[in-house]
Amino acid sequence: MRTRPFVLGALLSLSLLTACSQQATPVASTHRFFHIQLANNETQPVSGRLLLFAEQASAAKSEAKDGKVTEIDANPFFPEQVAIAAQEVDRLVPGQTIDVDADMRAFPDAWSKLPAGDYVVQAVLDVHRNYNYLGRDAGDLISAVTTVHLPASDVPTLTLDATVPVQDPWAIPDSMPANLRDAAKAVHQQAQPIDFTSPALAQFWGRDIHMYGYVLLPPGYDASSNTRYPTVYFTHGFTGNKDRLLRPMAYVQAGMASGQMPPMIWVFLDESSATGTHEFADSVNNGPWGQALTTELIPYLESKYHMDADVDGRFLNGHSSGGWATLWLQTRYPKIFGGTWSTSPDPSDFHDFTGPDLYAPNANVYHKPDGTPWPLVRDKGKVVGTFEQFAKMERVLGPYGGQLASFEWVFSPRGKDGRPEQMFNRDTGDVDPQVVAYWHDHYDIANRLQMNWPALKPDLDGKIHLYVGTADTFYLDGAAHRLKTVLDGLGAHSDIRFIPDRTHFDLYKVGDDRFGLFKDISWQMYAVARPQAEAKLKVNQSH
């Protein structure tokens, strides 16, 4: 699920009033228009998806530092706090002004229905059309935050006069603990970049497709020696990419340098794409990513580095969408990998797709059978977002890269228009049973295990390790319980742990150590690859 670059860990106050839920004097239902101008200092025409954001001024200023609002953005944890409008723009030239109808494509509703009052408003031109995945990205054009009164007697004008700068992926964030700063600097110097062109993916797409990531070598690694190391293949969650791997790489570097983690080679894989996360699944929409990883990239890396290069020396670890990816890779390619340690994985049993049972008669992801809304996001036991809010906000932000659309790019059959078929109707929430049948037969992990266990057991039994919090932010503990029931019913050996009160964003925390679970997981892996008494002792001591 969505894990926008650790920003979501710092949740806003739940007491904020939403712009569209407050009671106010009704206003006339007339469309709200804005003038959007491209600044004269721009040098060439621009295109993209133009997004407008509006928030009640009093609420925005109460949360802003020194009361000065410098940015207004969508927040999936408080979906109706900010009103959003969108319009596609083609070749906006410097100095040109266009009219944007804030009622045409809007969330949570047409802006003409906003309560009367003062709002802070900002425009963003998403030039790469990837806002649903990366948010504001380098090259996007933005306006200053402007205060307007709605309904306005005159049409407000917003000028796109600033460009989002390129971010240094190696910049050490202020929030990084002091003990990781030196490790982050070492990672910058030592991490080996991966830029591999996949023949299989190139054949599928008809152009070069690159596989990106980093290889992090253990302290003391000597290319001239014969010493070989177990290898961990790690992949990130939704909104991650190769430029957002510094923190986990720094932690692993610090852990190995201090001896708190065993010496292994870690491969940090980028599973992002223009469609969201491809999750290393072989898909009729995204292409053969699993095939490319297991038959092309891994053999290439094993020819270049001193890796064990056998099933007992290849391990998987990933969180959220990366958790599903690693769980899928282990069950799909059990002869390749010696075990997965998947954390908070996206749904592995579609009987519980963050709550809704996709296989139920007349299934609907917006409303339960009793008509109440399906929740999707919770914080400390309180529902802060529904499935319907999440889906409709994503639709306004853009057709590509959103979490729900990303699932369809991985799991769905291809439609006649060349795009994946939608699993559910975005207006009503009604589930398409034919699309779900395809999901069931191809990507429901629990179903795959049930249908193929006799054949899978010799290579897979005992290799599935899964961790999830009982208070998971996206209700992902439900599907994990179902997966455990299936595995237990098969008599399979697995290690599925439900960590009390942990959420999607603090699952790895052990005491004051935000990434402490890495240590436990790494020693479990090492004990498989190097089953000496000392490694087993460390595993036992870590529990």
Distance separating alpha carbons of residues 149 and 512, to the nearest angstrom:
46
Distance separating alpha carbons of residues 114 and 56, to the nearest angstrom:
10
Tell whether 69 is covered by a domain.
Answer: yes
User: What CATH number is given to the structural domain containing 43?
Assistant: 2.60.40
Looking at the structure, tell me whether residues 237 and 317 fall in a common domain.
yes
Q: Please give the angle made by the CA atoms of 119, 120 and 122, to the nearest 5 degrees.
A: 130
pLDDT at position 29 over 60: no
Looking at the structure, tell me whether residues 327 and 469 fall in a common domain.
yes
Tell whether 303 is covered by a domain.
Answer: yes
Backbone angles phi, psi at 279, to 5 degrees: 60, 20
pLDDT at position 539 over 90: no
Residue 384 CA neighbour count, 13 Å, CB half: 22
Q: Which helix (H) or strand (E) holds 287?
A: strand 287-288
**pLDDT score for 1:** 52
Looking at the structure, tell me whether residues 416 and 491 fall in a common domain.
no
Last residue of a domain, one of 441, 458, 489: 441
For CA atoms 243, 247, 249, 254, the dihedral sign is: positive
CB 412 within 8 A of CB 438: yes
Looking at the structure, tell me whether residues 411 and 288 fall in a common domain.
no
Looking at the structure, tell me whether residues 223 and 314 fall in a common domain.
yes
Tell whether 86 is covered by a domain.
Answer: yes
pLDDT band at 542 (very low <50, low <70, confident <90, very high): low
CB 178 within 8 A of CB 58: no
Q: What is the DSSP string of 217-261?
A: PPTT--TTS---B-EEEEE--BT--GGG-HHHHHHHHHHHHHTSS
pLDDT at position 148 over 70: yes
User: What CATH number is given to the structural domain containing 231?
Assistant: 3.40.50.1820
Tell whether 363 is covered by a domain.
Answer: no
How many domains in the chain?
A: 3
Per-residue pLDDT reduced to its tens digit, 107-124: 999 999 999 999 999 999
CA 246 to chain centre: 16
Reduce the DSSP state of residue 311 to 3 states and report it: helix
**Mean pLDDT, residues 400-414:** 97
**Mean pLDDT, residues 301-315:** 98
**pLDDT score for 4:** 41
**Mean pLDDT, residues 205-219:** 98
**pLDDT score for 11:** 32
**Domain housing 394:** 375-441
**pLDDT score for 256:** 97
Looking at the structure, tell me whether residues 387 and 434 fall in a common domain.
yes
CB 426 within 8 A of CB 117: no
Looking at the structure, tell me whether residues 191 and 339 fall in a common domain.
yes
Per-residue pLDDT reduced to its tens digit, 319-367: 999 999 999 999 999 999 999 999 999 999 999 999 999 999 999 999 9
Q: What percent of the chain has pLDDT over 90?
A: 87
Distance separating alpha carbons of residues 22 and 119, to the nearest angstrom:
14
CB 244 within 8 A of CB 250: no
Q: What percent of the chain has pLDDT over 70?
A: 93
DSSP letter at 4 equals G
Of 13-22, 129-138, 340-349, 446-455, the least confident = 13-22
Strands (DSSP E) found in 302-454: 314-319, 340-343, 375-379, 382-386
Looking at the structure, tell me whether residues 459 and 379 fall in a common domain.
no
Distance separating alpha carbons of residues 534 and 543, to the nearest angstrom:
15
Reduce the DSSP state of residue 445 to 3 states and report it: helix
Q: Which residues, in sequence order, are bridge partners of residue 385?
A: 377
Tell whether 364 is covered by a domain.
Answer: no
Distance separating alpha carbons of residues 431 and 426, to the nearest angstrom:
10
pLDDT band at 533 (very low <50, low <70, confident <90, very high): low
Looking at the structure, tell me whether residues 208 and 305 fall in a common domain.
yes
Last residue of a domain, one of 441, 468, 485: 441
pLDDT band at 10 (very low <50, low <70, confident <90, very high): very low
Looking at the structure, tell me whether residues 466 and 336 fall in a common domain.
yes
CB 135 within 8 A of CB 155: no
The residue type found at 494 is S
The residue type found at 375 is P
**Mean pLDDT, residues 445-472:** 98
**C-alpha R_g of the chain:** 24
CA dihedral 202, 203, 207, 211 (to 10 degrees): -10
Order of all β-strands in the sheet with 314-319? 192-197, 210-216, 265-269, 231-235, 314-319, 340-343, 464-469, 494-499
pLDDT at position 14 over 90: no
**Mean pLDDT, residues 137-147:** 97
Looking at the structure, tell me whether residues 335 and 471 fall in a common domain.
yes
pLDDT at position 15 over 50: no
More confident: 123 or 153 = 123
Of 171-185, 212-226, 412-426, the least confident = 171-185
- Tokens, residue 63: 């949360």
Of 124, 255, 122, 126, nearest to 179 by C-alpha is 255
pLDDT band at 5 (very low <50, low <70, confident <90, very high): very low
**pLDDT score for 268:** 98
Tell whether 323 is covered by a domain.
Answer: yes
Distance separating alpha carbons of residues 55 and 540, to the nearest angstrom:
52
CB 84 within 8 A of CB 105: no
Tell whether 168 is covered by a domain.
Answer: no
CB 209 within 8 A of CB 197: yes
**pLDDT score for 403:** 96
Number of H helices, E strands in the chain: 15, 23
Query: In sequence order, what are the residues at sequence separation of 6 or more whose Cβ sits closer than 8 angstroms to the Cβ of residue 496?
Result: 464, 465, 466, 467, 468, 480, 483, 484, 487
pLDDT at position 23 over 50: no
pLDDT at position 237 over 60: yes
Q: What is the DSSP string of 135-197?
A: SS-TT-EEEPPEEEEES-SS--EEEEEEEPPPP-TTPPPTTS-HHHHHHHHHHHHH-EEEEEE
pLDDT at position 3 over 50: no
- Tokens, residue 423: 């699993």
Per-residue pLDDT reduced to its tens digit, 64-79: 888 889 999 998 888 9
Output the average pLDDT for the chain: 92
pLDDT band at 153 (very low <50, low <70, confident <90, very high): confident
Looking at the structure, tell me whether residues 249 and 307 fall in a common domain.
yes
Tell whether 10 is covered by a domain.
Answer: yes
**Mean pLDDT, residues 466-492:** 98
